[in-house]
Amino acid sequence: MRVIYLFLSLFILAGCSSRSSEYLLPTADVGIVGSAKYPVGLKEVEVPGYLNSDKVLFQKGAKLYKVDANFATTPSKLLTHNAIVALKKSLNTPNIQLYPWDFKSSRGVIVTIKLDDFIFKDGFVHVRGSYYIKSATGKLLSEKNFDLQKHSSEDVGSVVANLSKLFNQVVVEVAQKIAR
């Protein structure tokens, strides 16, 4: 009877410990690019509809397919968190929070980052979208469309890491605009 319990225990443990990876989209290893004189609010990063799951879109020629990326949470939440961390590092301030919050000041800026493409296509990762920086009163201070690409292998881990690097380039650029 002990042998049966031992066998069942080992079987359950072996089955529950299957190998998998969850991706967190690493934050940028950035230096200080300036400072923010006022609080910065970051709206949740807007992502294309195909990123509402834990899959990354791959395109080869005209064929599109989704590959499971095992994101630890939704890509929008991961990218928003990473953008806040990178902005705090690059602007050397803790005054960067998820917007909206109880923001009763006419000082400060609100950042919106919108991604239109976050895809692996024909050997390259592509990050395309736009960002807007507005004052707390709603005045547009800066806006830019971006279209970045980087060569990558087809390995899901490499694709996720390279997509993250490109997104972090956008965040550093946003920090530089805020610091001006």
CATH number reported for the structural domain that contains residue 11 in this entry: 3.40.50.10610
Domain containing 78 equals: 2-179
Per-residue model confidence (pLDDT) at position 17? 47
Q: Do 151 and 115 form a contact (C-beta atoms < 8 A)?
A: no
Per-residue model confidence (pLDDT) at position 146? 97
Per-residue model confidence (pLDDT) at position 18? 46
Q: Do 168 and 31 form a contact (C-beta atoms < 8 A)?
A: no
Per-residue pLDDT of the chain (180 residues; tens, 9 = 90+): 666 655 555 556 555 544 445 455 555 566 787 888 888 999 999 998 888 777 888 888 888 888 888 888 888 999 999 999 999 999 988 889 998 876 666 688 999 999 999 999 989 999 999 999 999 889 999 999 999 999 999 898 899 899 999 999 999 999 999 998
Per-residue model confidence (pLDDT) at position 2? 66
Supply the pTM of this predicted model. Answer: 0.81
Distance separating alpha carbons of residues 27 and 73, to the nearest angstrom: 15
Name the residue with tokens 């806006």. Answer: 143
Q: Number of folded domains in the chain?
A: 1
Q: Do 101 and 33 form a contact (C-beta atoms < 8 A)?
A: no
- Reported residue count of the chain is 180
